[in-house]
Structure 1
């Protein structure tokens, strides 16, 4: 569900039908990369975890030749983009669900911005550091909710202690790397509290859910309390 919402927010930046050169940094199992390749874009996936990379490779191996030929998968991380690519090589750089694992992200973000062609889009999906108390609070975990008010880290669903990012800080960072904030959205406003083993709805119910999430993600005050933030910086 999140991947579809992000696709639509990214595509809104470009003319309908434009074929984009996309770099997906920390692509994981390749879900977003596969969606974009199926939509006709050329996608390069960068992933440092060999297991995740193998899963993505297996997923693309089952695709038709026309899709496979638009995809390149590389083992590496977001700090190595300058090793693999020339500056200005991409129209879109995705960095989704990655910054929470990076202690000092500014240098990596500066490198990602250099990969963008003029007018290119840097798409960040981060944990919302201004709303860390919401999930434990809604679950009735008051000690955790109170602790989260004064914390910049949280325990994710994998049990790892990771960073969160704040809108104000990332806005300043994007301005400093010549990819100033163009638009931002809240993601998982209503659905963050859903149990991980619950199957999402289908059909009309799924469409209603996605419509509600999309509207809330664009409107105050809802987007301010979303679990995730989607920030779009544009290279000058």
Structure 2
């Protein structure tokens, strides 16, 4: 299993610190808020859902879901990321109607580590660090209950050159047009992911597409820019463009919302590991 996050090309880089910083920028805010809005469209508000967040990192998405009353377990192999997630949750925990729990481990082992029968399974910003995403996708497909949601966010292989062009990195454009692998801004290697391949693998497990969105159509090239007074307008523009062609096809990320078939064999859910 080759994972460029856990075995970065430049060992010693503070990946968790850089990721946490990026989450607080306009780009990071747009990503998390748009994904959360899409999840709200498809996750029932009541009763609260049991959500597994595979590769949940610093827990931003988990916290947003818990604040709406859902019960989330974050599964992540990076101890530093999990420590940040725990620390960020503490100030919110007493007032939130939902909950967040944490488990260290790789997503490929999710059925063994945290069990099955989840109402929703999330995998956001993980596939692009894997040389072969298929083993993780097969593991994720075992985790939802019949009728449960599987949400996948990854870099679009066909759109990697867009940001390079908008920042006038012409050599980067030429590389991205021919090779979906890049050195990214947080200090590791990432890859564009083929949306059709993800859908094909999930469909093998009778998990089918409900809706897909583009995330960061207009703001991906803004690097460290902070959110401003126009954030609400930015989010609305990104949301509306990310739901329609051709805009969603040139966004940095694709966001797939899929659902497990009701005819899948049900499995007994096991409680999340402590």
The counterpart of 1:191, out of the listed 192, 195, 219, is 219
Following superposition, the deviation at residue 92 of structure 1 comes to 0.8
- Per the TM alignment, residue 199 of structure 1 is displaced from its structure 2 partner at its CA by 1.2
Provide, for residues 125-152 of structure 1, a one-character-per-residue CA deviation record: whole Å limited to 9, x for no partner. 1001001111111222222111211112
Kindly report which structure 2 residues correspond to 1:49-198, keeping only aligned pairs within 5 A, or say none: 49-65=78-94, 67=96, 70-88=99-117, 90-196=118-224, 198=225
Structure 2 residues not aligned, in runs of 5+: 1-29, 262-274
Residue 200 of structure 1 is matched in structure 2 by 227
1:61–1:68 CA contact under 8 A, matched in 2:
no
Could you tell me how far apart the structure 1 residues matched to 2:145 and 2:208 are?
14
More displaced 10-residue stretch of structure 1: 22-31 or 161-170? 161-170
Deviation at 1:184, TM superposition (A): 0.7
The CA deviation at 1:66 is 5.5
**Offset, 1:86:** 2.6
Tell me the distance in 2 between the aligned counterparts of 1:227 and 1:112: 23
Q: Per the alignment, in what secondary structure is the counterpart of residue 39 of structure 1?
A: coil
Q: TM-score, normalised by structure 2?
A: 0.80
Of 124-133 and 154-163, more deviation after overlay is shown by: 154-163
Q: What RMSD over aligned residues (CA atoms) do the two structures have, in Å?
A: 1.6
Identify unmatched segments of 5+ residues in structure 1.
none
What's the counterpart of residue 231 of structure 1?
256
What residue is the counterpart of 2:265 in the other structure?
Answer: none
How many Å separate the matches in 2 of 1:92 and 1:51? 25
Q: Is the 8 A contact 2:76 2:105 kept in 1?
A: yes
Residues 125 and 216 (structure 1), Cα distance of their counterparts in 2 relative to 1, 3 Å cut: same
Secondary structure, counterpart of 1:122 in structure 2:
strand
How much has 1:69 moved relative to structure 2? 7.1
- Give how far 1:101 is off: 1.2
Which has the higher relative contact order, 1 or 2, with Cα contacts under 8 A spaced 6 or more apart? 2
Give the match's secondary structure for 1:36: helix
Asked if 1 retains the 8 angstrom alpha-carbon contact of 2:215 and 2:253, the reply is: yes
Q: How many residues align?
A: 232
